[in-house]
Structure 1
């Protein structure tokens, strides 16, 4: 599989983009005309830089407003084309993208359009250039890839083919199965982009809201399968117009983009039972093995966990870390990370095959994490997520493995009560959110629930839950408003009796996040709760939600550094996260 990317996807100068693409592992690039125009380097210098970086120049683009025009206009089109073809010769590019005409001067005459495309191809042939004709979703008269292919067939030139773009096809709701009717040798290029389903004009949708594969709602695995069945064997290339990606760090975005193509090829191969393009199989998470909080002055966490009923399991025999557990909920406090306020630093995941999980992570570009391991200690392998949070893979139950490395605390027999890590709430700035979604999807194998917007005191917080099919892992991802501070992350622990646990913890002196009395007045209006139950919730600062008979009762601890805890109880099959209560929590924490 060869990979490519349009330089329009990335921030920075053309040379910065090219170096980032090479570092991320792309094989080639589509050079945008606008990027070359503003570069101080000559076409020859860009050509030589690509050669040194090991990048092929797969396409030069775009060339616009060609077909279906009056002859006087077309004469000027050929003049423009000849100038650009000379630039391409100097650049060493032999494929040009021609977009379907969007100008008002266009006439709806296929014979004229095909004739003019053919004459453009004849001129291109003089320069050794091939022409890839693409139907824009907002083209004046050609907005369907099937129409574009008919014009290519009518023009009948060996150096004239078509370019297929997933956005232009899927955004219009066109059936992609007819792609298989196109001669694969005449599909000169393939451009890929995902996108959320939005109700807006297709041009604005395209220019501002495209995403990398795996981040949106398009069926790109089905689309790519049709293209491959047609016989296309060229590169998989990304053309993603997105306001965020044009502003973010170029190296990080290029790595993010490359990961999306590996994910797409793998998912397409798996869906069609093909061998080519497959990565190591996704390891379905069995449970959260542990969550780690790292930083200075973690004594407040020790006190908080003890008051919540966690048992101290001891200190690690070779590292400055300690373990607390409550049932199957395990929280590690790591003081080896200095000069930082407490933060959620790592997540351990129990899977069937840790080695396979590591191989898949590496193939998707997740960097490995060094962990010092001494003789007799379990070798837990880890990768770093894009924001630096470490993910540890384990296929040995904790109590049979790494837990035995902690000394000086109670043993497992003394740890009572049923508890699991219910979910881990992770917050991101706006520019890192899509990258986090793709990492969870591709590396962790989690699927997306429907997103939701949560009102807070500093603006709307977008929430996207990523979870395993059996909900063994739930990761709500929250995107902070652009000008707002990043919300703290939190660990939610599930138990069987949140009221009893809250009362015991309160008696031990644990302060909860204080909930305003007005919340309970509103709760009385929303739900027919009896007075005694409402009074109990109010007394303990508990929050409540109910959906279709299922109930959710929970409370929050104070925030320590950048982390806090939540204790939850789910009753009657409740599957949510208490979303109506999130604005109350956000306001109270502020």
Structure 2
């Protein structure tokens, strides 16, 4: 599949955008006209730069408000178009996007629109230019792709074809299956964009909230299946208007964009193969002109192997782990790293390269069936590999960096709870006895607001984690958006949070400016809380008002309510079961949670999140040792 991207997707100058696209691996680009107009470089300079970067100039866009106009206005439009054709010859681009008229159209007549497009095609042919006619979703008379194609058919000119844009098609709820009926040679260009489900007018939705494939709610895989079946084999380009993307690093955005296309290409290949198999056609997607690449197929992770906290002075963190019932297994034989374990939960305390850093979650390990294949898949999806210094007799762990710089280690699942790398700490990683803590239940990672969608796509595409419905939780300084990424069996639960901007700006530590935490699964949270209290654990306090409301909502047994209140425990219940949990104080940028799931409860105590956020905020305001919240 030939990949392309519109320069309007990225921040920076045209030259910076081009270099970022080339570095990310795109085959070509669309030149958005405004980017060229404000560039100090000539079209010839841009053409030479594209050639040196190995980028084709696939499209020049947009040419607006041409068809359906009076004869006088048509003449002016043809003059304007000819000037653009001449510029495109200098630039070296041979296809121009022509948007359906939204402003000056005064004649609602397909025959008139077609004849005017034919005249434009005749002029374009003299310059070797093709015209890709696109139905804008808010076009005055032409606003769906099938209508646009009927006009292209009526124009009946070899230099006039259609441009298919997934946003304009799917935002109107149109059925994309009609794409298969369009002759492949008349599909001149294809643009892709995803989008979240929003109740907005389609123009505002389009101009501000488009995202890359896999980061929104559209079924772009189905769209691509219809496109491939049409026989189209030209560029597949991204055209995303997004306020956030145009404020962030063009290099990072280009990588995110390329990852989305690689992932979509694989999903399309898999969907086609599945449909062909169901229909009895075993030839697969290779029978179509568009060649779709695939990635190493890997199973979803089966559990958490470990969590790592990086800190210059981890004393308070290790003290909390001891109070929660963890045991220090040992110190690494060559590095200032310690391993703490309780049941199947392992926490690594790392002091390497931590000068001046407050405690923060720096890495997590996931159990996977085939670590090399999982790492290969992640790297092919543009993840950056992570290497750590190791001796010849030490385990070599596969790892990649997530968008927020958290290191993701891909560890071999053994099934018996042992871990080979624990030998370097003088242990097999298994603690004797039956500790109350049994495993890591979930990990909560804060995300920079401008990279949240990127993070969701990263974990879904590289690790096959499925996003659940997102939630917004109120805090004293704004809403916190939370998105859980989960394996199908719930063995891996990763919560991604966007902190309110005011909270992010209030941070003063070297790590994330919004606290993150590790939640441990427990067999008896009441017993563990009592044990932790005896060992001096600093619980996050819960206000009495919370317990009054709790009783009003659930009519709890008096003894249970007393236990909850005396131990700062929180409670939730639904039709599937009960959820009891508590939080520790925050040290630096990290805190811990202990949870007990009763019966089939599968949530995270969402009604209690505002209580936690408010309590953490109060602690910061009162000058306690909590690092940030």
Q: Classify 1:197/1:59 alpha carbon distance in 2 versus 1 (closer, same or farther; 3 Å).
A: same
1:139 Cα shift?
A: 0.7
Match of 1:330 among 346, 354, 370: 346
Tell me whether 1:365 sits opposite 2:379 in the alignment.
no
Distance in 1 between residues matched to 2:186 and 2:428, nearest whole Å: 69
Distance in 1 between residues matched to 2:72 and 2:106, nearest whole Å: 12
Distance in 1 between residues matched to 2:191 and 2:428, nearest whole Å: 57
Tell me whether 1:391 sits opposite 2:419 in the alignment.
no
Q: Classify 1:396/1:473 alpha carbon distance in 2 versus 1 (closer, same or farther; 3 Å).
A: closer
Match of 2:488 among 453, 457, 469: 469
1:484 Cα shift?
A: 2.6
Say if 1:283 and 1:356, in contact at 8 Å, map to a contact too.
no
Say if 2:517 and 2:592, in contact at 8 Å, map to a contact too.
yes
Q: Classify 1:540/1:571 alpha carbon distance in 2 versus 1 (closer, same or farther; 3 Å).
A: same
- In structure 2, what is the equivalent of residue 157 of structure 1? 157
Distance in 2 between residues matched to 1:415 and 1:581, nearest whole Å: 29
Q: Classify 1:411/1:547 alpha carbon distance in 2 versus 1 (closer, same or farther; 3 Å).
A: closer
1:1-40 aligned within 5 A = 1-40=1-40
- In structure 1, what is the equivalent of residue 268 of structure 2? 268
1:48-67 aligned within 5 A = 48-67=48-67
With 399-408 and 180-189 compared, the bigger mean Cα shift is at: 399-408
Say if 1:191 and 1:237, in contact at 8 Å, map to a contact too.
yes
Distance in 2 between residues matched to 1:113 and 1:177, nearest whole Å: 25
The count of corresponding residues between Structure 1 and Structure 2 is 590
Tell me whether 1:434 sits opposite 2:453 in the alignment.
yes
- In structure 2, what is the equivalent of residue 544 of structure 1? 571
- In structure 2, what is the equivalent of residue 580 of structure 1? 607
1:540 Cα shift?
A: 0.5
**SS at the partner of 1:422?**
strand
Say if 1:196 and 1:218, in contact at 8 Å, map to a contact too.
yes
- In structure 2, what is the equivalent of residue 380 of structure 1? 397
1:362 Cα shift?
A: 1.0
Distance in 1 between residues matched to 2:364 and 2:309, nearest whole Å: 9
1:414 Cα shift?
A: 4.6
Distance in 1 between residues matched to 2:474 and 2:53, nearest whole Å: 47
What TM-score comes out, normalization by structure 1 length? Answer: 0.98
In structure 2, list runs of 5 or more residues that go unmatched.
Answer: 274-284, 287-291, 505-512, 618-629
- In structure 2, what is the equivalent of residue 144 of structure 1? 144
Distance in 1 between residues matched to 2:440 and 2:429, nearest whole Å: 20
In structure 1, list runs of 5 or more residues that go unmatched.
Answer: none
- In structure 1, what is the equivalent of residue 281 of structure 2? none
1:400 Cα shift?
A: 4.3
1:577 Cα shift?
A: 0.7
CA deviation digits over 1:50-92, x for unaligned, max 9? 1111111000000001111111111111011011111111111
**SS at the partner of 1:291?**
strand
CA deviation digits over 1:135-175, x for unaligned, max 9? 11111111110011111111011111111111011110000
- In structure 2, what is the equivalent of residue 117 of structure 1? 117
1:248-287 aligned within 5 A = 248-273=248-273, 274=285, 276-287=292-303
1:300 Cα shift?
A: 1.1
Q: Classify 1:408/1:227 alpha carbon distance in 2 versus 1 (closer, same or farther; 3 Å).
A: closer
Match of 1:349 among 339, 356, 366: 366
With 11-20 and 417-426 compared, the bigger mean Cα shift is at: 417-426
CA deviation digits over 1:523-543, x for unaligned, max 9? 111111122211111110111
With 55-64 and 305-314 compared, the bigger mean Cα shift is at: 305-314
Distance in 2 between residues matched to 1:408 and 1:424, nearest whole Å: 24
1:228 Cα shift?
A: 0.7
With 135-144 and 406-415 compared, the bigger mean Cα shift is at: 406-415
Distance in 1 between residues matched to 2:441 and 2:75, nearest whole Å: 67
1:430 Cα shift?
A: 1.1
Distance in 2 between residues matched to 1:484 and 1:157, nearest whole Å: 58
Distance in 2 between residues matched to 1:216 and 1:259, nearest whole Å: 14
- In structure 2, what is the equivalent of residue 412 of structure 1? 431
1:337 Cα shift?
A: 2.5
**SS at the partner of 2:41?**
coil
1:404 Cα shift?
A: 1.6
Say if 1:315 and 1:409, in contact at 8 Å, map to a contact too.
no
With 458-467 and 526-535 compared, the bigger mean Cα shift is at: 526-535
Distance in 1 between residues matched to 2:408 and 2:572, nearest whole Å: 32
Say if 1:66 and 1:74, in contact at 8 Å, map to a contact too.
yes
With 243-252 and 377-386 compared, the bigger mean Cα shift is at: 377-386
Distance in 1 between residues matched to 2:393 and 2:241, nearest whole Å: 51
The RMSD of aligned alpha carbons is: 1.4
Q: Classify 1:396/1:461 alpha carbon distance in 2 versus 1 (closer, same or farther; 3 Å).
A: closer
Distance in 2 between residues matched to 1:269 and 1:164, nearest whole Å: 20
Distance in 2 between residues matched to 1:55 and 1:533, nearest whole Å: 67
Say if 1:440 and 1:446, in contact at 8 Å, map to a contact too.
yes
Distance in 1 between residues matched to 2:123 and 2:407, nearest whole Å: 55
1:425-574 aligned within 5 A = 425-485=444-504, 486-574=513-601
- In structure 2, what is the equivalent of residue 320 of structure 1? 336
Distance in 1 between residues matched to 2:76 and 2:614, nearest whole Å: 62
1:436 Cα shift?
A: 0.8
1:441 Cα shift?
A: 1.1
Tell me whether 1:126 sits opposite 2:153 in the alignment.
no
1:314 Cα shift?
A: 0.7
Distance in 2 between residues matched to 1:588 and 1:248, nearest whole Å: 33
What TM-score comes out, normalization by structure 2 length? Answer: 0.92
1:408 Cα shift?
A: 7.8
1:411 Cα shift?
A: 5.6
1:409 Cα shift?
A: 10
Distance in 2 between residues matched to 1:563 and 1:316, nearest whole Å: 22
CA deviation digits over 1:1-20, x for unaligned, max 9? 22110000000111111111
